[in-house]
Amino acid sequence: MDLGERTKERRVWGLGLIVAGILLEGCGGDVVNVAELEAARAKAAPAEREWRSYLGDLASRQWSPLEAVDRSNVHRLERVWTYHAGAPASAGLQMQVNPLIVEGVLYGVSPNLTLFAVDAATGKELWRFDPGVGAWIASPSRGVAWWGDGEDSRIFFGAQSFLYAVDARTGRRVESFGDGGRIDLREGLGRDVSADLMGVTVTTPATVFEDLLLIGGRVNETEGAAPGTVRAYDARTGALRWAFHTIPRPGEFGHETWPAEAWQTVGGANAWAGITVDVERGLAFVPTGSATPDFYGGDRVGDNLFANTLLALDARTGERVWHQQLVRHDVWDRDLPSPPNLIELERDGVRLPAVAQTTKQGHTYVFHRETGAPLFPMREEPVLPTTIEGEVVASSQPIPVAPPPFVRQTLDEGSVSDRTPEIEAALRARLSTMRSGGLYVPPSIEGSILVPGIDGGAEWGGAAWDVSTSTLYVNANQVASVLQMVEAAGDTELTDTAYLGLCAGCHGLDLKGDGAGIPSLIGIRDRMGFFEFHALLRDGRGRMPPVAAFMPWWQRYGAAWLLYDLDEEDAPIHWVEREGEKRVTSAGYKDFTDPDGLPGSAPPWGTLTAIDLMAGGIRWQIPLGDYPEILAEGRSGLGSQNYGGPVVTAGGLLFIAATPDKKIRAFDKESGALLWEDTLPFGAYATPAVYEAAGRQFLVLAAGGGKFQQSSGDAYVAYALPEDVR
């Protein structure tokens, strides 16, 4: 039986298993409880001492004016309440939520995408709203948005492709908003995206400006993805007020930087990270991601404006004021990863309004808010030539001369991990077979080293701005990735949905793993039953992450069947030899790791950096976090990958969790010295919130685990000083 016949057979079986799966998995419904709301509101602090916007305020400063907790007493912080938001429905689910605190009430989201409200001083549940997402959670939530006008107070909450309006006091849908309380973000894009399971997913919350909801969204990163149109909706009615096409249409500015028909076929260039607003000037600062598909742009030749761009739009009309494209024709997945920070810098005795954008590459770009002019000199970084047929990369990329990068940007034989002599030798040998040596090395068939890796550098947790010292604090990953391409023949479903998307990053293009910790996928049928294999795929095992958190069950059963009877002829390394039209596609998302799955680069593997934006230099940098495997060896201080950002306070402190050692830490913002830490029930891959309620200062964060093959949880943990400490 040839490949085409085998693939057809698997698809038939996959459809049958969809029906079977219906009997095995289900979904839930809404739960509402409005008890004791007024008691919670009676303990509210003034608005400026709460946390009413994602990342603290519309300027995305991640800063709190509270100073009751300071360097002298932070060591006395203690847990005062823990709220369990609801046990995860599937392994691998996460809570990346930066909760809001409004009028004495804390609003958050469970790992199953249930919205809830609790008393911010006690953690007592007030109500819950379940949108009925069920067992499939396409994308974790990073938070919610609040809008209020007198007695009309609303929480805007995203689940899958829907944006809901929920009454902040009752937990019930606002039926007058959109279609019965929600709007579908897949509509109004100028093309049908209903066949795309992800569509436009609400991960980062909308930004509320006046009576407008400014929103982008997460889209698929493969062919057929939705376009990343930025939109503004009426907060009262849900009506569309304006739309900005990040993939310009004919007659629009930037259309000539794409193929003529790209606006009808190419996706991405989306603002998934969130939007910052300058309220005084009415400017919305929109960071965008790469165009799709990731890693190959042969079908989108050109600079691809407005992908990978910091856009300044008129927040009321959506008209472009200025833009700075930070990566031209992205083939490295260099999305702008977080909302930019609104800052001020003094030059020649004049205070200048500025906006700072950190990047996955480890750069900090600083522009004048009104004009977009760079406030530090820029230069052009050469791009190595591509070796992929049909690809046309930009010759250079713009980078700032200052501040200096906050991560390493190259990897050579002298900077691989030396955990053991054997590991060092193996990593050097592997590195010698790949393309490397620069910041912008295009993907290749043999594999190219990307430093920092696909996840940065800076990530979605954002940076914190301390106005009193003109310091920007950013946590970053210092792990390399491998960008490898493969020539695929035909349209086999194995190419995108199953093997390359799920498995090639670890099991390799030959299906055989590494002969040690990663087993071969050839002949699974001979080693286990189908449902046992599906359970392994769903829940993960060891270093293998679960796919249940990002793949719906009906797709998961089909993918499991496609993988179940792989043989050596199915290996991607042989696809180029087969009949049919060839196309270039990515061999999957994979890091450059050692045989134990730890980073293959030398530590530190994660850092926390204080950047002096007045002088354009680094104040201090320290390793952040540790992997449990390193701690088990009796070592520490090597840093780790980290997700979720910092918060800085007027009390001289910086709080951050984000690491796989499950710690929440407080650092001296001036020196980087560790002043306090506590171990959480689960890893907290989320940005904390700092607020006041009932006269006390609180620190709260979502500890949901689910990364680094750790178990998932549902704990919101709040800290405060003992009541006798004021």
pLDDT, tens digit, for every residue of 330-340?
A: 999 999 999 99
The pLDDT of residue 500: 72
- Per-residue pLDDT band for 36 (boundaries 50, 70, 90) equals confident
d(CA 144, CA 544): 31
How large is the average pLDDT for residues 262-282? 97
pLDDT at position 240: 98
Residue type present at position 339: P
Flag whether pLDDT at 495 surpasses 90: no
Distance separating alpha carbons of residues 698 and 710, to the nearest angstrom = 27
Q: What is the model's pLDDT at position 571? A: 72
- Residue 134 CB coordination number (10 Å): 18
- Decide if pLDDT at 72 tops 70: yes
Residue 307 has φ and ψ, to the nearest 5°, of -70, 150
Which pair of structure tokens corresponds to residue 492?
């086999």
| Helix (H/G/I), strand (E/B), else coil: 500 | helix
User: Is the pLDDT score of 288 beyond 60?
Assistant: yes
Q: Is the pTM of this model over 0.75?
A: yes
> Average pLDDT of 85-106?
93
Stretch 448-452: mean pLDDT, rounded? 97
Residue 2 has pLDDT above 50, yes or no: no
Taking 80 as the threshold, does the pLDDT of residue 172 lie above it? yes
Residue 699 has pLDDT above 60, yes or no: yes
pLDDT tens for 416-443 read 999 999 999 999 999 999 999 889 999 9
CA of residue 542 relative to chain centroid, distance: 23
Angle (CA) 85-87-89 rounded to 5° is 125
The yes-or-no verdict on residue 345 having pLDDT over 50 is yes
Of 18-22, 339-343, 569-573, 647-651, the poorest mean pLDDT is in 18-22
Residues 210, 212: Cα–Cα separation, whole Å:
6
Query: Max CA-CA distance within the chain?
Result: 77
Contacts with 510 (C-beta within 8 Å, 6 or more apart), sequence order: 568, 571, 572, 573
The predicted model gives 711-715 an average pLDDT of 95
Length of the chain: 726
Measured between alpha carbons, how far apart are the two ends of the chain, in Å?
A: 76
Rounded to an integer, the average pLDDT of 202-222 is 94
How is residue 272 annotated by DSSP?
-
Can you identify the CATH homologous superfamily of domain 3-26+485-587? Cytochrome c-like domain (1.10.760.10)
Provide DSSP, 112-171.
Answer: T--EEEEETTT--EEEEE----TT---S-----EEEEETTEEEEEEEETTEEEEEETTT-
Amino acid 551: pLDDT: 67
Q: Which residues, at least 6 apart from 348, have a Cβ–Cβ distance to it below 8 Å?
A: none
Bridge-partner residues for 109, per DSSP? 115
Q: Residue 443 is which amino acid?
A: P
Average of per-residue pLDDT across 618-623:
98
What pLDDT does 514 receive? 66
Q: Which residue has the tokens 């989201």?
A: 109
Q: Which amino acid is at 256?
A: E
Q: Summarize the confidence of residues 208-212 as an average pLDDT.
A: 98
Residue 674's DSSP bridge partners are: 667
Tell me what pLDDT residue 569 has.
Answer: 73
pLDDT at position 27 over 70: no
Determine how many CB atoms are found less than 10 A away from the CB of residue 28.
15
Per-residue pLDDT reduced to its tens digit, 535-572:
877 777 766 776 765 666 666 777 787 777 777 777 77
- pLDDT in the model for residue 552: 66
Would you give the DSSP letter of residue 501?
A: I
The answer on pLDDT for 4 being more than 70 is no
Read off the DSSP letter of residue 546: P
pLDDT of residue 136: 59
The DSSP symbol for 518 reads S
Q: pLDDT at position 244, please?
A: 98
* CA angle, residues 214, 216, 220, in degrees to nearest 5: 165
In whole numbers, what is the pLDDT of the chain averaged over residues? 90
Residue located via tokens 């691998």: 92
Is residue 441 within 8 A of residue 295, CB to CB? The reply is no
pLDDT at 100: 98
